A and B are shown apart, each in its own frame.
Chain A
């Protein structure tokens, strides 16, 4: 939806959908499955940041763009960025595997002098950022599938809360890849049309790509600075049911949402808005809403921003955190797109129009493969 936070915000307000058939993804499925592709080539993305290192992958350059924007927006000085007390916590599921064909060649000994040998794993993305920006603090990479960057945000927040670091730059990145589109197709959960979260006729998810970072610090240190929101509560649980689908009663999502409320010392009734995981798969949307009812009785307003950008996998937690922050600072709800018919198994509908709303607390959910469930709460500060 845009190469900057501001453009994303404008697009959300206008209900713009960034999902279409991919132009740059080299896959036969690019003609079949719509995706939230960033319509800029990797080469252009690299040149905009003057990156000439040819080992840098698309995932990494997307991360670098978002990282730069976050640094700029937070006004971090060089001293603060390179302080040993500033941590970098990143997340990705694809890492350098966006280079599907190159990995195949290198791993089967068919390529000599490949520039990517050190770039295929997840940590390569954040090792690159840590080095490029000459950071000296703790660095980490998390991969828990679709909840990855939500968990990265949680890890960073806890490091600060426990006094182990004073600042944490947290976020995630993922790019479209032949690898993931084939994997999700093998699971039969991709939709051949633009996804319809919570809709009765939903047919599955659309993949997406993107990156987002947030700069976190302690309340006391942020006193005289521009503060967007507070990371108020968080919780991670395991559904312990199956590797790719959630249990019928949604125990994992339920426990994650309840745990986030407890950690934020909030009641269910304090939540004004939920940015749902809302992938538009039959299983997720039904189970997530069931779990929402268990927590809230009558759930508050909820939307799925995956209807705008698709499922950005490891980046989704961080991107949706930024969107939740937009909700708070602008006191508004963005329409959940492509919803027309209530699913009788769900009995709820997301918000489908833009509107102003008093918002103090937003809950953002991310549920990953392997039953990894994370719920974060962002609050007005």
Chain B
């Protein structure tokens, strides 16, 4: 397999200035240990649709609208989301408790379904093709990407909308806090990676991509994606080793690392860095988007930008020299020390 798909259009709503233009040199920093998305004005949304949208749907459709308007159509919608619908679920739950299961409004229940975004996208674009929502937590986006690659092997001339979206739901934040996934100390003023404590900072974002098999004028090529479930650092290392061996002739020039400041996960990221040649630069992205299940979609968006010549911001560079442009970027992300993903993204020939 020479490739999984070519990316032609991208759109991103994130905690950084990424929607109207790509202004990633100036860094937006966490507030109360959260990196909330910078949301656009939503002037393009289908009439009266915003009212029916939870945040996941809102930022997802907000990110997709420019792509929907730019093309004549696409053949299907494939979405990955880890937490999509959680906020509305708990709002509906509150109603159940508060009204003691009395007559309830169905709106939040309908919005709480994980596939609400994908279904709203199909309404917004009048798309009746393949429509799916993958919800496998830290690998939800990867599963969506693999699904898309399969669709393109089955339908070589088609074009698909692929997305990865998650929101910081206030309720989810509490659950993750209680479970020890966020920093106890305030990270707003710096020390995202250097605090050497457990936990990280919550984030959110929506990335939408138009992809197909056509290399002509493509922004970037996703060559391969591999996933793994393990808590054992050695197994992760072996898996990455095998992945690299499959691409032994590819000169990887950047590791885009999902290191997120959680000291418990450093061993995995160290393994990744150590497996690559010493002269390969390492950059990090979680301080820009925060931690959330589909943050690897944000990394892929970043990879596309770097490959097309957007300079690597100094605040991202962990190790090595920055280049004016990159040809082969390896993205490695580890979610909660269990789910690992490896994506190889390259410049098109």
5 A-B pairs with least C-beta separation: A370-B119, A183-B109, A238-B131, A186-B106, A107-B171
Q: Interface residues of B, CB < 8 Å — how many?
A: 59
- A106-122 vs B: 1/0 string, CB under 8 Å? 11110110100110111
* B83 interface hit (Cβ, 8 Å): yes
Measured CB to CB, the nearest residue on chain A to B99 is A182
Known: A370-B118, A371-B119. A123 touches B127 (CB 8 A): no
* A327 interface hit (Cβ, 8 Å): no
Contact present for A238 and B92 (CB under 8 Å): no
CB within 8 Å: A-B pair count: 185
Distance in angstroms between the alpha carbons of A182 and B174 in the assembled complex: 24
* A131 interface hit (Cβ, 8 Å): yes
Contact present for A186 and B131 (CB under 8 Å): no
A350 CB → nearest B CB, Å: 27
Q: Which of B33-41, B134-142, B247-255, B267-275 contacts A (4 or more CB under 8 A)?
A: B134-142
Contact present for A100 and B137 (CB under 8 Å): no
Contact present for A372 and B136 (CB under 8 Å): no
B residues lining the A interface (CB < 8 Å) = 52, 77, 82-83, 86, 89-90, 92-94, 96-97, 100-101, 103-106, 109-110, 112-116, 118-120, 122-123, 126-137, 139-140, 143, 146-147, 150, 153-154, 171-172, 174-175, 178-179, 227, 229, 338
Contact present for B175 and A117 (CB under 8 Å): yes
Distance in angstroms between the alpha carbons of A161 and B55 in the assembled complex: 37
Known: A97-B89, A159-B150. A237 touches B178 (CB 8 A): no
Contact present for A139 and B131 (CB under 8 Å): no
Partner of B115, one of A27, A108, A186, A372: A372
Which residues from B are CB-within-8-Å of A27? 101
Known: A123-B136, A182-B104. A369 touches B150 (CB 8 A): no
Contact present for A139 and B178 (CB under 8 Å): no
User: Can you name 19 A-B pairs with beta carbons within 8 Å?
Assistant: A28-B100, A28-B101, A103-B89, A103-B93, A104-B93, A106-B175, A108-B94, A121-B82, A121-B83, A123-B136, A127-B137, A135-B229, A141-B137, A143-B133, A159-B150, A187-B106, A240-B123, A243-B120, A372-B131
Contact present for B128 and A140 (CB under 8 Å): no
**Which of A179, A183, A238 has the most chain B CB atoms inside 10 A of its CB?**
A238
Distance in angstroms between the alpha carbons of A136 and B112 in the assembled complex: 31
Which residues from B are CB-within-8-Å of A243? 52, 110, 116, 119-120, 123
Distance in angstroms between the alpha carbons of A212 and B100 in the assembled complex: 33
A282 CB → nearest B CB, Å: 16
Partner of B150, one of A28, A29, A100, A158: A158
A249 CB → nearest B CB, Å: 12
Measured CB to CB, the nearest residue on chain A to B111 is A243
- A228-240 vs B: 1/0 string, CB under 8 Å? 0000000011111
Q: Interface residues of A, CB < 8 Å — how many?
A: 66
Which residues from B are CB-within-8-Å of A251? 128
Contact present for B174 and A237 (CB under 8 Å): no
Partner of A370, one of B89, B97, B116: B116
Known: A162-B150, A164-B150, A238-B131. A144 touches B175 (CB 8 A): no
* A126 interface hit (Cβ, 8 Å): yes
Contact present for A142 and B134 (CB under 8 Å): yes
Contact present for A178 and B101 (CB under 8 Å): yes
A residues lining the B interface (CB < 8 Å) = 27-29, 93, 97, 100-101, 103-104, 106-109, 111-112, 114, 117-118, 120-123, 126-127, 130-131, 135-136, 138-145, 151, 155, 158-159, 162, 164, 178-179, 182-183, 185-187, 236-244, 251-252, 255, 368-372
Measured CB to CB, the nearest residue on chain A to B121 is A238
Which residues from B are CB-within-8-Å of A121? 82-83, 86, 135, 137
Which residues from B are CB-within-8-Å of A144? 114-115, 118, 131-133
Known: A107-B174, A122-B114, A255-B128. A140 touches B133 (CB 8 A): no
B331 CB → nearest A CB, Å: 18
Partner of B113, one of A93, A103, A107, A159: A93
Known: A130-B229, A372-B115. A103 touches B90 (CB 8 A): yes
Contact present for A100 and B128 (CB under 8 Å): no
Distance in angstroms between the alpha carbons of A225 and B347 in the assembled complex: 46
A366 CB → nearest B CB, Å: 13
A36 CB → nearest B CB, Å: 20
B127 CB → nearest A CB, Å: 6
Contact present for A237 and B96 (CB under 8 Å): no
Contact present for B113 and A141 (CB under 8 Å): no
Partner of B96, one of A100, A109, A236: A100
